[in-house]
Structure 1
């Protein structure tokens, strides 16, 4: 089995395959699995946005993360939020243990995959560093979240920071810098914490179209609220109205709205499958951001930090997006960007692109995704949220038929499942993919 991508999706799939006795070749350009975009940060202030009791990598062993923490001497309670860098260590440890225990065998190839060619009943995986290729019976596409699209209207320049996970470069900005963070999601929150916690003289302006931050988790815990899903055709407006009604009903009984949202985690994929394509589009246009800021929340400690920064006047959060940008020449010949926001022009030191992943494969510059599209092995899903797949992750080619032996796990499945980017969903996909691949 070949797995392309060594982040959480690829690592968990590899562990499940190894436990089933498969021989696995894991392709990860870093040379080591368990990192990916989400867990590559070295900043201990970057926390998971899900509590430890729901971050096990395995659906049949819900306490595995807590057990691992005890094994390695990390103090971690069920409702705590583990640093992201430690979650990477967890994934790497569990992969190493699965490889050592057998019965499967693991080879990690630290090269970038540029093409996958069908050969007989299997595939040949081609990398940028060799010409011979690696033969596999099946291939798992686990490439994770693609990088954001470049910010429109901004030139390539030293002050235009396109990689929000380049913590070293962000931390190296001047101690008195004023930084525009474009985006107000969880990545933008992490970037802001790095900037402002490092230097008390820095200022950050966070801006997005809506200007909405993720809501915080709260210390009080409620049992998940069960929302009855109506039979028959579903609509975006109907689902939004149902959720709001349930939140009002819960509030009348003294139950926090978070219990309602958490109770919908299980049925969300089923709801999405039962929404016709026009209703999916309507949901994306009207309700997606409202859902995201409630569904994907930040740790209470991080929310408290942001409140402190705002009270100190070091953090502003604006809606309306970036309306324009120009660069002023300084006396020393350097350029300083001036951005136009909803409240006027602002001179800043740097701009950080935290707009989130760009999942539309028709706009990618990834050589593998370009090659697979050229071969007709993959196609975008109708909403261009990832690639076209069945509900169980089997890839649908450009001709509309399932491609035997080609599956995907994680964020590329968002078009089919909608909720496909967090560990509680990825672990289920990884286990299921390993089960049906091992059975074929």
Structure 2
């Protein structure tokens, strides 16, 4: 088991001359990557303290799963923690006895081990520069060019810079027709806690609200160990992530450059351009994934050239169809889903959740002994559980996060205009009520409104490396 240095910092003593100190709020992937890159790149006088309420550094929402059938949705060759060392994950995996090809999709649980191992190794090379605190941060107070970090236990300490790396929040509470679902044994509000699955009967029917990657993982955990179970995945559109191509596919052997025109862009224009490029690729027998992957690099630039109205149009009209192609499933995961569907154990429906009522009823599909009746896709299904896989709550003004609430009250943060995260610069400098807040940064999902492409490791590690260069310098 990986052991990281732990500390409970003393009360603030702002009059003491000290090395530059950086607080990272959040110890999931975003926070761990930030700590790694700061320790690796920043000058030796910079120390890092990672605050993670769970006390489990390196896990977060994405990598805390204990189900080894939950795989990364990016090949190992693209998941290094360091942008300038792309083979680092593959080298670590092989050195730790894992037989890994660069094109393989590792279990997500292994990625958490990798992050922790790399953090432990780098902290040993830089003794005294890393501390972790298993407490929830509830407030930041600017004071004399620094920030006093306060936790729920009353701990407080001053830091020269703070990085908000809190990752993804739990989904919004499910509601139907404006009425929230009740708290009940059958209502699974947090899909990332898999303990509820052990209580399911072997012939259970589960309704999964959402058809994204989290919903896919949930379906695997429900169905794989109990051949008598059924699942129904439902969302407004009924679209599931596409699959990655099999490794070494001939149609994937070439790159593709999409000529994005200069100047301001429109959502319709970008959608037409992508459609044209997909047709051109098909005519040359080039896989469509090559076109999508070729747009990964310029995505943030394209987003930055859409004005606010065009960004809204893209989100309303095109975003979901883009995301299911951009954020794809591992081939093995897709094969499992195909097998479930062929066996009649999994249905994927469009139309959303339209009604929920407790108890079973005669004549209802699967209602015999069911805990709840759920109307999905125009029909009623008897279910033993309804699971909320609708995606993380991204509006910071609605988040159940005492730190964000405190920062909003202080005017230190604000939602971005699209309410996809925090208002910030493309470099991650937080913008509060009165503009840039010197010394306050953010990394990862909170940058979505500004960058759009900011939730995958290849983008987050670049942000972490860039922030590492900023936090080591005095405020300006």
- The answer as to 2:298 corresponding to 1:275 is no
1:90 aligns with 2:121: no
Instruction: Measure, in 2, the Cα distance between the counterparts of 1:41 and 1:224.
Output: 34
Match of 1:8 in 2: 29
- 2:195 maps to 1:172: no
Query: Is residue 148–residue 159 contact of structure 2 (8 Å, CA) maintained in 1?
Result: yes
Secondary structure of 2:175 counterpart: coil
Q: Deviations for 1:389-429, whole angstroms, at most 9, x for unmatched residues?
A: 00000000022x10000000000000000000000100000
Conserved? CA contact 2:78–2:86, under 8 Å: yes
With structure 1 as the length reference, what TM-score do the two structures score?
0.97
1:357 aligns with 2:392: yes
**Corresponding position: 1:203 with 2:230:** yes
- Among 140, 149, 165, which residue is 1:142 paired with? 165
Alignment partner, residue 416 of structure 1: 450
Count of residues in correspondence between the two structures:
435
Cα distance 1:255–1:418, how it changes in 2: closer, same or farther (>3 A)?
same
Question: Within 5 Å, which residues of 2 pair with 1:204-223?
Answer: 204-219=231-246, 220=249, 221-223=252-254
Alignment correspondent of 1:232: 263
The question of 1:314 aligning with 2:345 is answered yes
Secondary structure of 2:90's match?
Answer: helix
Tell me the secondary structure at the aligned position of residue 378 of structure 1: coil
Distance in 2 between the 1:389 and 1:373 partners?
14
- In structure 1, the partner of 2:19 is none
Partner of 1:194: 221
| Residue in structure 2 matched with residue 404 of structure 1 by the alignment | 438
The correspondence for 2:378, drawn from 336, 340, 343, is 343
Q: In structure 1, how many angstroms separate the alpha carbons of the residues matched to 2:254 and 2:461? A: 22
Q: CA RMSD in A?
A: 1.3
List alignment gaps of at least 5 residues for structure 1.
none
**Conserved 8 A contact 1:39-1:87:** yes
SS at match of 2:344: coil
Deviation for aligned residue 1:223: 3.0
Cα deviation code 1:353-378 (max 9, x no counterpart)? 00011100111121111111011100
SS in structure 2 opposite 1:395? strand
How far apart are the structure 1 equivalents of 2:167 and 2:390? 16
Structure 2 unaligned regions, length at least 5: 1-21, 362-368
* Residues 300-309 or 167-176, more deviating: 167-176
1:166 offset after TM fit, Å?
Answer: 1.0
Name the CA distance, whole Å, in 2 between partners of 1:236 and 1:104: 49
Alignment partner, residue 11 of structure 2: none
Give TM-score, length-normalised by structure 2: 0.90
1:251-301 deviations in whole A, cap 9, x for unaligned?
111100000000000000000001000000000000000000000000111
Indicate conservation of the 8 Å contact 2:206/2:383, yes or no. yes
CA distance in 1, matches of 2:126, 2:235: 48
